[in-house]
Chain A
Amino acid sequence: MPKEKLIMDASEVSRALTRIAHEILERNKGTQELALVGIRTGGVHLAHRLARRIQTIERAQVPIGELDITLYRDDLALRKDQPVLRKTTIPFNISDLRIVLVDDVLCTGRTIRAAMDGLMDLGRPAEIQLAVLVDRGHRQLPIKANYIGKNIPTARDEIVHVYLEEEGEEDRVVILNGGES
């Protein structure tokens, strides 16, 4: 068993999401032309939570999409077994909207690159912003989040894991030590 170190507990996760919801509203001056797109799987749950908070604060519904980035990964040609493909469900036209991409952990930035390419194939958004619960550094691409729940300095071989209620766990963020997991 690798060592688990608790980084954020349930109430910290909740407060971070509430703050991000406020920041999204502040930056976009409300919910006009705004949509949230969660990256499967963790990002989708977080996008729904953010939408609920925005609903409470502003009394406005924000459309939510679910994006699977598998087909846009940059390592497909290198892998022996292809990763399991899940569905992309974006039930609205993203053109001219301000899209907030939502993911749980930001690390190398490769997932976000893939997500942006995936979005561009669906239309031409007016703007793409990025919200993440955890930014752990180690960027390999010039990508930066607009909304960050918590910055967590990590070593390259550590693993950050976000547990969420929607998957039957207590909300928390942990670091798994020592590479093995």
Chain B
Amino acid sequence: MSLKRKDLIGIAPLDPDEIRLILETADSFKEVSGREIKKVPALRGKTVVNFFFEPSTRTRTSFELAAKRLSADVINFSPSASSVVKGETLLDTARNIEAMQADIIVLRHQAAGAAETLARGVRASVINAGDGWHEHPTQALLDLFTLREKKREFNGLRVAIVGDLAHSRVARSNIYALTKLGAEVRAAGPPTMIPYGLDKLGVRIFYKLEEALRGVDVIMMLRLQLERQGRALFPTIREYSNLYSLTADRLKLADSQALVMHPGPINRGVEIAPDVADSLSSVILDQAANGVAVRMAVLYLLSGAS
């Protein structure tokens, strides 16, 4: 089978077979990243534009590396250095880029729905690299890929997602992906960080971290967005940390083979204790390494002729 889509906007519209196809394709690309010459000619002559309206190091670098390993030409475009500050709209800027024969546009934008809007307006393929609080599909795919390497089977896997789920596109994409593949998803965080209606996505909600962690196979910690601290989601960082930080003691409540994941960048000592982040249970660095293979898979699958 193949991915019959022009764009990757989110996990929500994908069916389980499409998710599995991406993961299996990524498996083949992981072999390429282990070679001495880490380059294949699959996207030779294609142009990939990284269009990032929000600061990002790992996602942008990961996409850039992925595109380069596929032999595509890569342009990095950030708004501070472009005509966006001169008042040009997103779509106009994108159409100008497209006029220069871009084949794939990777978009990170602070507004939910930006990728969808762009995808409708341009002929090029659009990959959502994070839009507001909506989705961050490639992050969820690389989390799934990492899980699959360690746990093999998604069906019946118990996963706790901990932190600010209300403002997390990573959490949303992961919830869609995990529930589609049959995993049991739990959410844990203070009530201010659990969005209304989350249970309708098939998620069990816990306000006490200890209860959520009992017996789980995977713990996904979300980054506490300290830059949102002014929004009165919790009284102090210390209080949040006391109640919701993943410590070695709390980790013991989970299954003894449990994996600890974090999309990064981590706030050591805030949402995750340093010894847990560096422990054997932690697969945080595997996640970063797998990101390139997963993004190569997505770029490859979307690169068919239009």
Contacts and interface: CB of A to CB of B under 8 A. Distances in A.
Contact of B2 (A76, A77, A84): A84
A35 B25 CA distance: 27
A91 to B, nearest CB: 11
Contact of A71 (B2, B24, B40): B40
A69 to B, nearest CB: 10
B300 A85 contact: yes
Main secondary structure of the interface of B (DSSP, over half): loop
B305 A80 contact: yes
A80 B304 contact: yes
A78 B42 CA distance: 12
B304 A88 contact: no
Contacts of B301: 82
Contacts, number: 61
B28 A82 contact: no
B46 A77 contact: yes
Interface string A37-74: 00000000000000000000000000000001011100
A70 B304 CA distance: 13
Interface residues of A, number: 22
A26 interface: no
Contacts of B36: 122-123
Q: Please classify how large the interface on chain B is, using the bins under 10, 10 to 19, 20 to 34, 35 or more.
A: 20 to 34
Contact of A82 (B24, B39, B303): B303
A156 interface: no
Contact of A88 (B28, B39, B45): B28
Contacts of B27: 87
A79 B305 contact: yes
Given A72-B40, A76-B42, A85 B28 contact: yes
14 contacts: A68-B28, A70-B42, A71-B41, A71-B70, A79-B305, A80-B304, A80-B306, A82-B3, A82-B304, A85-B24, A85-B25, A85-B28, A85-B29, A87-B28
Interchain residue pairs A-B with the least CB separation, the first 9: A81-B2, A71-B40, A71-B42, A85-B28, A87-B28, A80-B304, A85-B25, A82-B304, A121-B37
